[in-house]
Amino acid sequence: MKILHTSDWHLGHTLYGYDRTQEQLSMLSQIEEIIKNEQPDAMVLSGDVYHTSQPSAAVQTMFTDAIVAMHRACPEMTIVITAGNHDSSSKHEIFHTPWRELKVHAIGNIDKENPSNHIIEIPGKGWVVAVPYAYQRNIPQGFFEQLLRMVEERNTGSLPVVMMAHATVEGCNFTGHDLTGQKTVGGVDAVEHIYFGTGYDYLALGHIHHAQFIHNTEHRMRYSGTPLAVSFDENYDHSISLVEIDSHGALPRVTEISIVNPRPLVSLPGDYNATWDEAKRLLEDFPSDIPAYIRLNVEVENFLPAGANEEAQSIAASKTCRVCHINTKRQDRERTTGQALTVQELQEIAPIEIAKRYISNVAGSFNEEMEQMFNEALEALQVGSIN
């Protein structure tokens, strides 16, 4: 079986107020071209289709148009999409029935009563076990093992078995993410790899943006990463994964296929904090014809000079790049969780992360129940503002 593994598209994401539609359309077009060339048996999209649980009509149209185009590029391909922690699980399944006509399976909720709905057969090729993001306490104990046993009973032809999940797994590289506490990324607590049971040939993970295998899993457990950088700290290559599995029990063969961002995210300087004067020189020397987003990394004694943002914008005015943010670090002092956030940082950080920082300063503990209540309140507020 040949599959394309991707995740974390974050459609609708904006960067410091800049619209990224053209970049996202380019990413989707590149994936469509890869599908056309590779003709996979399946594409699995492991969560975080959208950046928010209430995407605009235009963003939803961009997604549906892309899925239809990908189906046309390979009509025999099965597409399996699961909801991530950024997605609305209920909205994810609105078009469940018409999607099936295009061999698209959208799984938004854990179906405890009908676990078979999580199992998709790729006739003559293999099986996909699709599990969306959910709080651990909402997933029945042994649910992954139950699904894998059901597949084992049906898999008389010893065909490959692929499982999907959206989770933080212990031992992965968190680069590009804010690590809350010791094991929590983006509001999702880490689990051990044994949590997902045994019996799959490949576990197609979503949530962590850095493409990687999980150590000590025989290269059977992998994050495809996001095809398009969401923050300046994601300073690594972005791609989707082409996975080939000969039979049940065989080791998967994985090839990374790069996705090119027409407007890359660039930090100046990239590996240290410069003085304000040095940062201005680097911006002045940045090529005029590269349409990048720019973050300036600056070390200051106390504060930036008055009008620093306006000065940076003036330097870049004749260039095709866009100055997004001046990231400051005070000399001889590391930032602490109690330090005030700038307006730009507030715009970039997820609400749940702001709440956790506040709680850690005043109370010290933000448990799973509090996190769920916060997310439920936030979703209700977002729905209310739209209605």
Task: For residue 247, give both structure tokens.
Answer: 């039979």
Tokens of 163: 């499982």
Domain boundaries, the chain: 2-258, 263-349, 351-387
Can you say whether the dihedral through the CA atoms of 94, 100, 102, 108 is positive or negative? Answer: positive
Q: For 171-230, what is each residue's pLDDT tens digit?
A: 888 788 776 655 778 778 889 989 999 999 999 999 999 999 998 888 999 999 999 999
Q: Which CATH class is domain 2-258?
A: alpha beta
Q: Where are the alpha helices (DSSP H) in the chain?
A: 21-38, 57-73, 89-92, 96-100, 143-154, 276-285, 308-315, 343-348, 351-362, 368-386
Q: Per residue of the chain (387 residues), give pLDDT as tens.
A: 999 999 999 999 999 999 999 999 999 999 999 999 999 999 999 999 999 999 999 999 999 999 999 999 999 999 999 999 999 998 888 878 889 999 999 999 999 999 999 999 999 999 999 999 998 888 999 999 999 999 999 999 999 999 999 999 998 887 887 766 557 787 788 899 899 999 999 999 999 999 999 988 889 999 999 999 999 999 999 999 999 999 999 999 999 999 999 999 999 999 889 999 999 999 999 999 999 999 999 999 888 999 999 999 999 999 999 999 999 988 764 444 445 565 555 655 677 777 766 665 544 556 666 766 777 777 667 555 444
| pTM of structure | 0.84
- Which are the contacts of 126, defined by CB distance < 8 A and separation ≥ 6? 1, 41, 42, 159, 160, 161, 162, 245
Angle in degrees, CA 379, 380, 382, rounded to 5? 65
Nearest alpha-carbon partner for 209 in 338, 354, 85: 85
Residue 176: other Cβ atoms inside 10 A: 19
* Cis preceding-peptide flag for 269 (omega within 30 of 0): yes
Per the structure block, which two tokens stand in for 169?
Answer: 């797994």
